[in-house]
Amino acid sequence: MEEMYCYVGDLLGFQNTILNLDENEQEKRVTEWIQLIDECKKNLPITHSHYVSDTIFIGAEGNKDGLDALLNFSKNLLEKGIINSFLLRGAITFGKIHWDSRITFGAAIVKAYNLANNQNWIGGQFAS
């Protein structure tokens, strides 16, 4: 495990997208999502990424450059996502993470996931 910065984000309304589009349109939309992520990661010192459906896990070094990379990544993803009708919620945390080709886990991922998941600001009342 290494200490690093972690961004966890997911798309709002993705479940409806999958349930209401045919397979070809689903694949097209998911491809657009992945291309957007890749575009936003471009030229940033992002060391790790892991995608599961509409949820993304992005890791960067545990220093100022790593934090700057994730802040720039998340800003670009939010701005470009809105333009492309990808509404997002996400969070950045710092802590220990284990990354390999089969599994990604750690306290920083759990914390970022919970922070992102607890954002209740679209389609309902503000969280109290």
User: pLDDT for 10-28, tens place per residue?
Assistant: 888 788 888 888 889 888 9
Expressed as residue numbers, the domain containing 75 is 2-117
Residue-wise pLDDT tens digits, 38-79: 999 999 999 899 888 888 999 999 999 999 999 999 999 999
Closest CA to 100 of 64, 54, 59, 63: 59
Residue 93 pLDDT greater than 50, yes or no: yes
pLDDT bucket at 80, cuts 50 / 70 / 90: very high
CATH number, domain with residue 18: 3.30.70.1230
The three-state secondary structure class of 116 is helix
127 belongs to a structural domain: no
- The structural domain count of the chain equals 1
- Residue 40 three-state SS: helix
Instruction: Spell out the residues 6+ positions from residue 48 whose beta carbon is closer than 8 angstroms to its own.
Output: 4, 57, 58, 59, 60, 97, 99, 104
User: Could you give the percent of the chain with pLDDT greater than 70?
Assistant: 93
